[in-house]
Amino acid sequence: MNIKQWIQKSTIKLSNIHSAQLDSKLLIMYVLKINKEYIIFHEKKKLTCKEIKHLKKLLIRRYLLEPIAYITKKKEFWSLNFHISKYTLIPRPDTEILVEKAIFLLGNKKATILDLGTGCGNIAISIASMNNNYFVTGVDINKNAILMAKYNSKKLHINNTTFFISNWFSNIKKKFHMIVSNPPYINKKEFKNRNKELSFEPKIALYSPNMGLGYINIIINNAKKYLHSKGWIIIEHGFQQKNQVKQILKKKGFLHVQSYKDYGGNYRITIGNKPYI
């Protein structure tokens, strides 16, 4: 069997998945360690028995709806390649609006940024990659997430970051110019209604008590203590949580509270500014 034949065959096998052909290509790229161009120019290349066996194993995992990112252990975000593991959420394109807004608000000034619940470090590293004037601290409750974030930072040659374990603010000892976070925000009660692919992701990174607002509340209620005057907070949230998040920020005295849509057209982030005191 050659590359082209395998892609055709597995695309049919994965007909339960809308991205069947793309996923088949991604699997073969992963196993043969090749890129898209290679597939185009070498589609007649014969596969070895060992390769076919390996591919078959991975195809079954995908057939059972394990996300392709967990199978290939990587995901692109902000045009950077991140390594991921089952201990970290798969970075979503929806989150890029958070990075965009952070950079816009920070400008070219020297600034320290805190990323709460950093996971594989995609937000922290993407912000840090944009300007050497930024220094980004990423924290997470999970040791494996911290190891992954450190690994990604090193692999991408981003030096203006640091990562350590912290349960939200528990190990934070100083103030920052900006706090960002993509916390768990899915209502725990919705757990059963969500699609099968989500069930492969760490529940601790997805679900939150109190209608999905429990952790967002904790973050906002403590944020002022860890922000310099005029410092910004940017929170990612569910598209139906915009009004509640705005209200929580306003109640805590944040100014310039505003929500923004992601590129899917859903309200995804809300920002607030700590007053000058």
Enumerate binding residues for ligand GLN (CB under 6 A).
92, 94, 182-186, 206
- Kindly tell me which of 32 and 114 has the beta carbon lying closer to ligand GLN: 114
- Surface-to-core class of residue 120, CB atoms within 10 Å of its CB (0-12 exposed, 13-18 middle, 19+ buried): buried
Q: Which amino acid is at 215?
A: Y
- Kindly tell me which of 229 and 240 has the beta carbon lying closer to ligand GLN: 240
Q: How far is the CB of 19 from ligand GLN (least distance, A)?
A: 16
Known binding residue 168? Answer is yes
Alpha carbon distances (Å) from 98 to 40, 177, 256: 35, 16, 16
Alpha helix segments (H runs only) across 107-194:
122-130, 143-155
Vertex 72 angle, CA 137 and 123, to 5°: 20
Q: How far is the CB of 16 from ligand GLN (least distance, A)?
A: 20
Known binding residue 107? Answer is no
Known binding residue 78? Answer is no
* Alpha carbons 16 and 184: distance in angstroms, whole number: 28
- Kindly tell me which of 59 and 220 has the beta carbon lying closer to ligand GLN: 220
Alpha helix segments (H runs only) across the chain:
3-13, 20-32, 36-41, 49-63, 68-72, 96-106, 122-130, 143-155, 203-206, 214-223, 242-251
Known binding residue 214? Answer is no
Q: How far is the CB of 108 from ligand GLN (least distance, A)?
A: 29
Known binding residue 117? Answer is yes
- Kindly tell me which of 66 and 94 has the beta carbon lying closer to ligand GLN: 94
Q: How far is the CB of 206 from ligand GLN (least distance, A)?
A: 5
- Kindly tell me which of 71 and 206 has the beta carbon lying closer to ligand GLN: 206
Residues in CB range of 1: below 8 A, 6 or more apart: 9, 46, 47, 52
Known binding residue 120? Answer is yes
Which two tokens mark 268? 């995804």
Q: How far is the CB of 244 from ligand GLN (least distance, A)?
A: 15
Binding residues for S-adenosyl-L-methionine: 117-121, 140, 168, 182
Binding residues: 117-121, 140, 168, 182-185
Binding residues for substrate: 182-185
